[in-house]
Amino acid sequence: MSIYLKTNQKHIVLAGNPNVGKSVFFHYLSSVYVDVSNYPGTTVEITSASLNKNIVIQDTPGIYGVSSFNDEEKVARDVILYADVVINIVSAISLERDLFLTKQLIDMGKPMILAVNQMDEAKSIGLKINLDLLSDILGVPVFPTVAITGEGMDKIKDAILLNKARAGKTDLVLQSQITELLPQVSNQAEALLLLEGDLVIAERHKIEPRNKRNEIYSTRRKEVNETILKVINLKNKKERFLTKVSNFLIDPLWGSLCAILIGFLFLYQFLGIWVGNDLINLTEKKIMNKYYEPVVREITGQFLPVELVINNNENKVKYSFSHGFLSEKEKYKDLKSFRNQNKNITEEYFFGPSDYIEIRSGETSLSNNLLSGFGTILAGKYGILTLTVTYLLGLLLPLVAAFYVALAILEDSGYLPRLAVLVDGLLSRIGMNGRAIIPLILGLGCVTMASVTTRLLSTRREKLIAMTILGFAIPCSAQLGVIQSLLTKSGGITSWLIWISVLGIVLIFTGLIMNKFLPGKSTPLLIDLPPLRMPRLKNVFYKARTKIIFFMTEAVPAFFLAAFIVAILQVSGLLNKIISLFEPVSKTLLHLPKEVSISFILGMVRRDFGAFGLTELPMSPAQVTVASVVLTLFVPCIATVAVMAKEQNWKVAAGIWLSSMVLAISIGSLLAIIMGA
């Protein structure tokens, strides 16, 4: 049934191939409301908005044809079937591909407006399109647009309001066959799909499908090719050069070497050294640790119990203020004088006995009371005003921003779809196709959101394999950045190679095992290859900014909540008990400091928060490698588990959560023995 049947408004549907700019059109045309919901029976989201009180605009998933092969096509099929007008968006630089869907929509008898988008890119490569001739051949109004700048968008809106949409020209032979079926179905669109052998439409009307898909598709492809020859003129050396580069990037040998180089530069050099070491040393060590945290602790110490342990040339000096600095002004004056006379000192603030998680300075004269607990929660070792803010602004934000900027550059250049083609052979052996590389790469930004994007895979089997790999072997951006920084600082390239090799082995073996035991097989890869281009600064900024804001909006409340919970556990004394409880795993099996269990606990809330705990622990290069591997393989965070349960079910989510814990500890224990951690 159509999702339109509840309203008397006129329904305008946006349809087109992936990556043609439909979302930009939708946001331009939407005004009064925007509603996003799952289409019944699927996980595909439908976005609706109103152009005015009489017209509703609906977006559809990117498709290459109207049929019933996967969830996206099924949703698009039902939305288009009952549309009053279809706005078909095509790309000027991939017109030969996009017009195949256009011809199908015309054959469905839908009143249409054709928007030829990305005209600026076509012009930049010397591509000339005779739009008037194209309109005459197809029989529908055609408008040139550049969606990202708004050029031509007002004409599309006017065409909708002035009812300029027209039904196009259908081949006479095909039209005759469609007419014969009209008495048996609801409309011309269903008659066409029935001719093409659509089983869902046939079942809906309880009639036999006419299996003429190959014949119709062959004729349609011929018509599109003839149209392209008539309306397009291309004479440009730049295009031929970019074609050669594109072929190079998908070549099995040279493309693989290029992908390895990009991966190394992205993960090790960019995130690990330039950002994780150089930039973080500035933002975390020199700004937050040196200037921000001491100020917060000094202000907190004015009113609450505090104890300072000062290291002065390997000698420790202790100042205790049982009621804060203001209550003992003479002693505070003496402390200031000592600071002025001794410039090269390091200071540690302790707001109560519970703040001595790691015993460093012997006995404390501070009593364990409500004020001490409050000071510890605010500005202690895991204080919500100290560690949490430092982590969010000094560590998390630079890493996340750097990651999403780099990802936006790869995305806007057109490299990611070529990477999908390159790895298709490998991924097909582990039960997926090359398209699965997209959620796997997006998982490096946020595994939670990547779990949602597994929807673009064709079968539940492929989605389950991809989701399991995301839960097992893919670190999120902030966790990834922290781990890259730890590995490059501690063990260098050797530790990094061990870490990435273990992840690669886990990824491949997980896929192989699931591919062997899950029924079914991987589907063929059908993916759009957009043109290669220099990334546009505006596009990169927009994509990165949107994802950074979304990530930080999700992360900030979770981090403050996690910090508050840990601080409460610390003040109540439960944190030390939990550390002791996990000691057989952390110290005996993994050969790591017992305090590393805090990172594992925090990692259950958010993976990236858990990674930060590792930066505070003194560990050898071997221990850093083991801890990095275990934390990467450790359980997905709470948000990811919830999404996995929604996309699959709670049994699947619980299975991934438990098995990832067992896997992480098992591999970490084996690695600790091998490396002598």
Whole-angstrom CA distances from 638 to 487, 571, 576, 604 are 26, 24, 23, 6
pTM for the predicted model, two decimal places = 0.62
Which residues of the chain register pLDDT less than 50? 1-6, 32-43, 359-361
Q: Say whether 185 sits in a helix, a strand or coil.
A: coil
Cβ neighbour number for residue 260 with a 10 Å cutoff: 10
User: What pLDDT, on a 0 to 100 scale, did the predictor assign at position 501?
Assistant: 92
Q: Which residues of 182-203 are buried (b: 16+ CB within 10 A; e: fewer)?
A: eeebeebbbbbbbbbbbeebbe
Q: What separation, in Å, do the N-terminal and C-terminal C-alpha atoms of the chain show?
A: 62
Dihedral in degrees, nearest 10, Cα atoms 402, 408, 409, 415: 130
| 3-state DSSP of 73-137 | HHHHHHHHHCCCEEEEEEEHHHHHHHHHHHHHHHHCCCCEEEEEECHHHHHHCCEEECHHHHHHH
Residues 386 and 665: their CA atoms lie apart, in Å, by 31
User: What pLDDT, on a 0 to 100 scale, did the predictor assign at position 609?
Assistant: 67
Dihedral in degrees, nearest 10, Cα atoms 609, 613, 616, 619: -130
Q: Where are the domains of the chain?
A: 10-234, 260-274+389-675, 304-377
User: What pLDDT, on a 0 to 100 scale, did the predictor assign at position 3?
Assistant: 43
Residues 433 and 457: their CA atoms lie apart, in Å, by 8
Which token pair is 250? 């998908």
Amino acid type, 183: P
Q: Which residues pair with 90 in a beta bridge?
A: 116
pLDDT digits 0-9 by tens, 401-432: 888 888 888 888 888 888 888 888 888 888 88
Q: From the centroid of its chain, how far is CA 541?
A: 16
Q: Which CATH class is domain 10-234?
A: alpha beta
Residue with tokens 């152009």: 51
Residues 456 and 71: their CA atoms lie apart, in Å, by 9
Which token pair is 122? 């076509």
Nearest to 331 by CA among 367, 311, 301, 287: 301
User: What pLDDT, on a 0 to 100 scale, did the predictor assign at position 668?
Assistant: 92
Angle 95-107/213-231 helices, nearest 10 degrees? 130
User: What pLDDT, on a 0 to 100 scale, did the predictor assign at position 498?
Assistant: 92
Question: Tell me, what DSSP letter sits at residue 651?
Answer: H
